[in-house]
Amino acid sequence: MGLTLSWLSIIILIPLAGLFLKSLELSPEQFWNILSSRRTLNALRVSFGLAFAAACVNLVMGSIIVWALVRYRFPGRRIFDAIVDVPFALPTAVAGVALTALFAEKGWLGAPLAALGIKVAFTPVGIFVAMIFIGIPFVVRTVQPVLQDLDPEIEEAAGSLGASRWQTISRVILPSLGPALLTGLALAFARAVGEYGSVIFIAGNLPNVSEIAPLLIVIRLSEFRYADATAIAVVMLVVSFVVIFAVNRLQRWAQSRIPAR
Amino acid sequence: MTIEVRNLVKKFGSFAALDGVDLKVDNGELLALLGPSGSGKTTLLRIIAGLDWPDSGEVSFNGEDALAQGARERHVGFVFQHYALFRHMTVFENVAFGLRVQPRAVRKEEAAIRARVKELLDLVQLDWLADRYPSQLSGGQRQRIALARALAIEPRILLLDEPFGALDAKVRKELRRWLRSLHHEINVTSIFVTHDQEEALEVANRVVVMDKGRIEQIGSPDDVYESPATAFVHGFIGESIELPVQIANGVVQLGDRPLQLAADGLAPGASKLFVRRHDMLVGPPGSGAFEGAVQHVRNFGPVQRAEVALSGGETIEIDAPRDRELHVGDRIGLEPRRYRIFAG
C-alpha cells in the first residue's frame, strides 16, 4: 500500500503537481490571454476534435475487428491478431514516416486519393488518419477479452426467445460489451490526444489548421516561453482528466448493474 | 404438440453425431434423451430447437415441416446447461425478454408483460428475486429463472439441454422432482437431455437411450431398466456385471468353463453376459453358476458391495444384502437370479 502510493506519487502525481505550480507563475489574466489566443484555441480544437472523431471511428472499426477475431476461425487469424498490436510496438516516428510516405501525393494511397481530389498528407485529414492508426489496438485489446468471455449461447437463447438478429445485438450483446467499449473509446481518445510522434510527420503543422496542441507546447518550449507551454499543458491535463474520470464513473455505474460473476 | 423426426443425419467432419435417427414424441410427453457424451443427444435437441441443422432428414411439429423455420419462428423454449442468462439484466428483465422482443403488432402492453412475468416467477417460486442480477443467484435459482424465461413465450415445445448438469447433487435431486411436478402443471411437450440415468428414469415418462448417433432403445423407464434391448443399454443403465462368454453346442462358456445357464435360442459365438449387481445371489461354495473369493467389501447402507475374484480370474462387483456378512477371503458361490446374454 505505502509502496504503491509512493511509487504512484513519484511517477505521476509529483510531475503533475509541478506542472500546476509552474502555471501558477502566470496571473489569471495572462493565463486567459494565452489560452484565448487564436493559435492556442485552434491547436486545442484540432487535437481534441480530431482525437474524438478518430476514437469514434476506432470504436466502430475496432468492434468489427474484435468480432471477426473472436467469433470466426479463418486462415491467418493469429497473424491478424498479432498485427493489431503493431501500432503499440512501432516507434511513433516510424509510423509517422510510413503513413506520410503512403499518403503523400505520390504515395501508394495518396496518388489515387489525390486523383479524387482528396489530400491526406499535410492536412488535418492526415492527423485524423494517424490518430486512427495509433488508437485501434486500444479498442481491440479492451473489448477482446470481454467478448471472448461472452458465451455464444446467450445469442442462441435470445434467438430462441424470438429476438431478431438486430434485437440480439442491440439488447444483449452491446449492453454486455458496453463498459469495455467505453473504456476502449476513452483509451483510444486519450492516446490520440497525446499522440505526437506520428502526427507531426503527416500533419504539415500549419498554425491554426493542422497544428496539434502537443506540438504547440514544444514550439513554445523552444521559444523559451515556458509559462505558455505549461498553460496549454494544464488545459490538456484537465480535459483528459475529466474525460477519464467521466468514463470511470460511467463504468462504475454500468458495473453496479452488472456485478462481476 | 407432437414432434416427429425422420432419418436424421448430422456429421461434424467425418464424425457422425446423428446417424439415422427416427423419433416420435407425443403431445404432452416428458421425454428424456439419455446417453454418454458424444452420443448425439444434444445435437438432436439443438436440431429440434433450430439451433443446428441436419445434413439430411426431416423434423416436423404437428405434421408441419419445422426445418423450414429458424429458431426464432419455431416457438420453442430452450433451457441451456449453463443457463445463458443475460447478465446485464435483472431476473425480471430476463424473464420479460421474450415478451419485449415480440413484433409490435402482437406485443403485450407493459402492464400485461409485468403481470405475466410475475406469474412465471411465482410458478418457479422465485418472485422475491425479481430485482436481482443473475450473478447474485445460486445455480439452482439461475436454472429456474432460465426455465421461467423459456416459458414466457408460451412455447409449443420445451427443450432442456442437461438442465441440471452444472448443479450439485442435492440441488439436482430437488430440481428433478420440481421439474416433474412443473411439467404436470403446465403439460407442454418437453424433451430433456441428460447423461444421468437416474435423472432420466426418475423424471421422464419415456426414455430414449442413444449411443454413437443412433437410438438404442425407446421405452418407459421400467422397460429400459427391466428389459434392455441391447448390450449397450444393459451396460449403460443400472449397474451391471458384464462378462465375455462363448456360446457353443448349446452351452454358455466363460473362458473354458461351462456355466450352468440356459443357452436356449442363442446364436453360437462370442457373446456378452449381463447380470445386475443385486441379481447375483450369494451361496456356499459349489452352489450356483460361479465360484469366487471375496477380495474387498464396502458397506453402502442396506447393501454390501463386494469385489469377487472368480475362479477363472475375472473380477466382478456384486451388491449383496446385509443379512449375510461377507468377509475378505470368503469363498462363495454365486447364482444369477436374472441375466441377459447378447450376441457380440
Which of A157, A171, A258 shows the shortest C-beta gap to B80?
Answer: A157
Model pTM?
0.78
Which of A153, A164, A178 shows the shortest C-beta gap to B80?
Answer: A153
Which chain A residue is nearest to residue B155, measuring alpha carbons? A161
Of B232, B312, B308, the closest CA to residue B277 belongs to B308
- CA A231 – CA A28 distance, rounded (Å): 10
| CATH code linked to domain B239-343 | 2.40.50.140
- CA B318 – CA B321 distance, rounded (Å): 10
CB contact under 8 A, A261 and B135: yes
Whole-number average pLDDT of chain A: 82
Kindly report which listed range (A154-163, A212-221, B241-250, B323-332) carries the lowest average pLDDT score: A212-221
**CB atoms inside a 10 Å sphere around CB A50:** 26
Residue B341 has what DSSP assignment?
Answer: E
For chain B, the structural domain boundaries read: 3-232, 239-343
User: A260 pLDDT exceeds 50?
Assistant: no
Which chain B residue is nearest to residue A155, measuring alpha carbons? B84
**CB atoms inside a 10 Å sphere around CB A83:** 12
Q: What is the ipTM of this complex?
A: 0.80
Pairing status of strand B15-25 against strand B3-12: antiparallel
Task: Give the type of residue at A36.
Answer: S
> Over its length of 344 residues, how does chain B's per-residue pLDDT go in tens digits?
899 999 999 998 888 888 888 999 999 899 999 999 888 889 999 999 888 899 998 899 988 888 888 888 888 889 888 888 898 888 988 988 988 888 888 888 888 888 889 988 888 888 888 888 888 888 888 888 998 898 888 888 999 998 888 788 888 888 888 888 888 888 889 999 998 888 888 888 899 999 998 999 999 999 989 888 888 998 888 888 888 888 887 788 887 788 888 777 777 888 888 999 989 888 888 888 888 889 989 888 888 899 998 888 888 999 888 888 888 888 898 888 888 888 87
Per-residue confidence (pLDDT) for residue B248, from 0 to 100 = 82
pLDDT in tens, B126-179: 888 888 888 888 888 888 899 889 888 888 899 999 888 878 888 888 888 888
CB contact under 8 A, A151 and B150: no
| CATH code linked to domain B3-232 | 3.40.50.300
Q: Residue B87: its chain A contacts at CB < 8 A?
A: 176, 258, 261
How many residues make up chain A in this entry?
261
- CA A254 – CA A136 distance, rounded (Å): 23
CB contact under 8 A, B72 and A176: no
Residue A11 has what DSSP assignment?
Answer: I
CB contact under 8 A, B84 and A257: no
Q: What angle do the packed helices B91-100 and B139-152 form, to 10 degrees?
A: 20
Reported as a pLDDT band with limits 50, 70 and 90, residue A258 is low
Q: Residue B152: its chain A contacts at CB < 8 A?
A: 161
- CA B114 – CA B29 distance, rounded (Å): 30
Per-residue confidence (pLDDT) for residue A257, from 0 to 100 = 61
Q: Residue A259: its chain B contacts at CB < 8 A?
A: 133, 135-136
Reported as a pLDDT band with limits 50, 70 and 90, residue A256 is low
In degrees and rounded to multiples of 5, residue B229 shows phi and psi of: -80, -25
What domains appear along chain A, each with residue ranges and CATH number?
A: 47-256 (1.10.3720.10)
Helix (H, G, I), strand (E, B) or coil at A149: helix
CB contact under 8 A, B77 and A153: no
pLDDT in tens, A95-126: 888 888 787 777 777 777 777 777 776 777 77
Mutate to test the interface with A, among B101, B142, B191 (most CBs of A within 10 A): B101
CB contact under 8 A, A156 and B98: no
Cβ atoms of residues A153 and B84 within 8 Å: yes
Q: Residue A170: its chain B contacts at CB < 8 A?
A: none
Per-residue confidence (pLDDT) for residue B123, from 0 to 100 = 84
CB contact under 8 A, B78 and A160: yes
Residue A71: which H helix or E strand, with range? helix A38-71
